[in-house]
Amino acid sequence: MRFPIGIKLILTFILVAVVPIAITTLVSLKLISSNLESALQKNGMSTLRDAKSILSQYLSRAEGIAQFLANSNDIAVGMELGDVQERLDNIEDFWRLGIVEIFDSNKKLAFRSHAERKGMGWFYTAQDDEILDKALDLDTVSDYFSYSEGLVIRVSAPIIDMRTMDVLGIIVVSYPFKEVLLQDIKSRIKAEVSVQWEQTGSMISTIQNEDGQPVIRAWESAVTDFRGFNDRAVLQQEKIFLKSYLISYQTLKNKNKEPVGILSTAIDAEYLRQTKRGLYVIIFVSSGCAFLLAVFIAVVVSRTFTQPISNLVDTMESVAQGNLDKRVEVAKNDEIGDLAVKFNEMTLKLKNSFTKNESQRNEIAKLQSYLSNIIESMPSTIIAVDDKGKINQWNQAATDFTGLPAEEVRDDSLLKVFPQLSPVYSNVELAIKKVKPHRHEKVSLLMGSEYRQVDITIYPLAAKGSNGAVIRLDDVTDKVRIEEIMIQSEKMMSVGGLAAGMAHEINNPLGGILQGIQNIRRRISPDLEKNREVAEKYQINLLDLHSYLDERNILRYMDGIQKSGLRAAEIISNMLIFSRKSDSQKSPVVIAKLLEETLELAKQDYDLKKKYDFRHVEIKRHFDHHLKPVKCVETEIKQVILNLLRNATQAMLEAGVEKPCIELKTSFCRGMTQVEVKDNGPGMIDKTRKRIFEPFFTTKPVGQGTGLGLSVSYMIIANNHAGTMEVESEKGFGARFIIRLP
């Protein structure tokens, strides 16, 4: 039975479109359901890990605040003058959710932040607390502590007078597990958070009951026996106040591995069912629409193709009977219309078959055009010359490479048009004479104001009555530069590893020197009882000894040794931090401190061969110390600043600037933190300034610059940190680079 083509098209569209859609829908429903449940479970465990990580961050933050305040000269002076309360009032927001307490050496309270806040009393440190005694013994305490009223993160650190090494007081930083702390964690992990600290079920939670009050007792199905609870995290689905949650539990332990409570996170599981329902509706509606669309397209296509094809068949039958004047009516400009046009052309060619010779000439012309198009479209520069060196072929790539159109150079001398090829022209003549190809790699050609590396291949042409050669030039400048960059990167990796190893090796004896000089100062101090006992045993007056050491400048020498050792330790620390491979983790960074550390690195970076020494450059600082920390990858920003400092220093010294100077300025502009690096060097022309951030662009000769330094710096600022990087410069008036970070 023969079906019309319209019916066949409709059936084909239905089979091709509807059946796969139905199968895909069923499979998708099952996969989506399974993936949603799996994703919810993974998300539950992930929120628990994130919550523990945030608690660790709070512990680290408390340690950092304690060390910062303990090492602050302002705090030490305040302890002596008795005005530490006034000195710390202005920076109380520095610790935000925490409590800062300062005790003197007799464990008497000197300062307490947030003292007026309601419900904070049980978080205060008692005078008989063990952490105060440990701090007086120069021991820093940092841990979770459990009380009947709740949990608290607490860190203590001694305040030491660096001149006498006496303990002036104690810094105690506490982060209580209050609602505001848990709400902060909740906002960051996008899940409810609960902490239980007693076997009786006492807890603090962000989950609210039907009255909008936070939960203060563990729900019926919650894990309460945390002392017998396995360390492994537990994931289970529970109902709390008639609402379904996916709960993740894990014990919270102090540094002695003792459990102090249970940390749990809860994800609303109701949205899983709602999401499934929504997906089912979307998939079924989409399937129905796809089915209707398939039927509609099949009907339209059937009507579009059936009539034109029938007309084409009728015309073909007429032509087959010998009617060569018959033509197909071209109704539409589509594929069938194209087919009708081609059929009409074929009929016309059949009718005009007696013009065979003319058709052959047309074919030859088309072939020549085809070959010419091939040559023109080749990315390599193609130049064909005869045995006298006259140009007879010059493709588009040659025009792009030299800037000369083919019409101007055809039949002209190769050496006249392209004098840069004069060093290899003798090989062109040799290749034509011996009919043997020649190849030259990485030939340096001066094109305009820029040197380009090219591979030159010479192919001889031998034909009856005419000889010549084809010269092919391939620009490999970028390839050569990439190879040089890879070699240089390997060298720098080796040098970096060697420097890091040397820094570690230097740290060991340096630590011994600093520890030794510190112990010498302590052993000759008349303030220590043990020193006085030993001195009396050998009948030595420590005060007289001190006077002698002071008069002979021995104490000053010891101070110099200690200061130089600390200076060397700081330099080594900066080198290790900078050479360490970045983990691409962004963290809040004080820009002024980052710039100072980068300057310290730059002072150690000099190259006698390039007459480059950063220590000969005057540095002017204009820092806004009220700027907030910027969240960035510290090592990457250091890399950008160090690259700018190197470029500025090298440009100024090479230009012979009498008093080289670099200005560093920080400010807040357009809602972003702005860093400016300005020099009084030779500056640059406008053409160079516009291309300064392009990869591989360099004004230095080949081999002396990769052209990637500023392009990589721009990528770090723009792509990695969503910032901006600009340059302002005029020839003879220095350069000013502007970096803005959100």
Tens of pLDDT, residue by residue over 408-419, are 888 888 888 888
List all residues 6 or more positions away from 264 whose beta carbon is below 8 Å from its beta carbon: 48, 193, 194, 195, 196, 222, 223, 247, 248, 249, 250
Q: How far is CA 211 from the centre of its chain?
A: 46
Average pLDDT over residues 129-134: 87
The DSSP secondary structure of 133-171, one letter per residue, reads HHHHTT--EEEEEEETTEEEEEEEEEEEETTTTEEEEEE
> How far, in whole angstroms, is CA 339 from its chain's centroid?
55
In a 13 Å sphere around the CA of 8, the CA atoms on its Cβ side amount to: 7
- The average pLDDT across 234-262 equals 82
Please determine, for residue 711, whether its predicted confidence score (pLDDT) is greater than 50: yes
Bigger pLDDT: 699 or 447? 447
* pLDDT at residue 78 in the model: 67
If you count them, how many residues does the chain have?
A: 742
Residue 193: predicted pLDDT: 92
Instruction: Work out the pLDDT band at 401, boundaries 50, 70, 90.
Output: confident
Give me the pLDDT at residue 662, please. Answer: 93
Query: What's the pLDDT band for 386 if we cut at 50, 70, 90?
Result: confident
Q: What is the pLDDT of residues 507-519, one digit of tens each?
A: 788 888 888 888 8
Q: Is residue 648 over pLDDT 80?
A: yes
- 680 or 483, which is more confident? 680
Task: List, in sequence order, every residue forming a beta bridge with 243; answer none if it has no partner.
Answer: 240
Tell me which of 272 and 197 has the higher pLDDT: 197
Specify the pLDDT at position 663.
Answer: 94
Pairing, β 259-268 against β 381-386: unpaired
Helices (H), 140-269: 179-189
All residues at 6 or more sequence positions from 70 whose CB lies less than 8 Å from its CB, including other chains? 157, 158, 159, 160, 171
The band of 306, judged by pLDDT with boundaries at 50, 70 and 90, is low
Decide: residue 382, CB within 10 A, 0-12 exposed, 13-18 middle, 19+ buried.
buried
pLDDT, tens digit, 9 for 90 and up, residues 63-76: 888 888 888 776 76
Give me the residues paired with residue 741 across strands: 673
Q: Which residues contact 209 (CB under 8 A, 6 or more apart)?
A: 215, 241
- Residues of 71-83 as b/e, b for ≥16 C-beta within 10 angstroms? ebeebbebbeeee
pLDDT for 584 equals 61
Percent of the chain with pLDDT over 90: 8
pLDDT for residue 332? 65
Query: Among 222, 247, 65, 58, which residue's Cα sits nearest to residue 157?
Result: 65
Closest by CA to 267, choosing from 50, 511, 510, is 50
Instruction: Count Cβ atoms below 10 Å from residue 159 Cβ, excluding itself.
Output: 26
- 500 pLDDT band, cuts 50/70/90, is low
| Angle, in degrees to the nearest 10, between helices 477-523 and 554-579 | 150
Residue with tokens 């002072």: 603
Angle of helix 5-13 relative to helix 270-320, nearest 10 degrees, comes to 160
- How far apart CA 713 and CA 630 sit, in angstroms, is 17
**CA distances (Å), origin 64, targets 71, 107, 566, 584:** 10, 22, 20, 22
For 345, the 3-state DSSP assignment is helix
User: In this structure, how many other beta carbons lie within 10 angstroms of the beta carbon of residue 318?
Assistant: 16
* pLDDT, average across residues 23-35: 71
Give the C-alpha separation, 526 to 400, whole Å: 85
Average of pLDDT values for 270-288? 70
Q: Is the pLDDT confidence value at 654 over 80?
A: yes
pLDDT value at residue 354? 44
pLDDT band, residue 495 (cuts 50/70/90): low
Tens of pLDDT, residues 205-237? 888 877 777 777 777 667 766 666 666 677 777
Backbone angles phi, psi at 18, to 5 degrees: -75, -45
- Residue 712 sits at φ, ψ, to 5 deg, of -65, -40
What span, in angstroms and rounded, lies between the C-alpha atoms of 221 and 240? 9
Return left, alpha or beta for 425; rule: phi > 0 is left, psi -120 to 50 is alpha, else beta: alpha
Q: How far is CA 334 from CA 131, 139, 305, 339, in A?
A: 87, 86, 10, 9
User: DSSP of 351-414, one letter per residue?
Assistant: HTGGGHHHHHHHHHHHHHHHHHHHHHH-SSEEEEEETTSBEEEE-HHHHHHHS--HHHHTTSBH
CA 415, distance to chain mean position in Å, is: 50
Q: Where are the beta strands (DSSP E) in 107-149?
A: 109-112, 141-147
Tokens of 678: 């300005």
Higher pLDDT, 147 or 647: 647
Q: What per-residue confidence (pLDDT) applies to 591?
A: 93
Give yes or no for a contact between 84 and 69, defined as CB atoms under 8 angstroms apart: no
pLDDT surpassing 60 at residue 94: no
Average pLDDT, the chain: 78
Closest to 591 (Cα-Cα) out of 618, 629, 563:
629
Cα–Cα distance measured from residue 62 to residue 145, given in angstroms and rounded to the nearest whole number: 14
Name the region of 72 (left: φ>0; alpha: ψ -120 to 50; beta: rest). beta
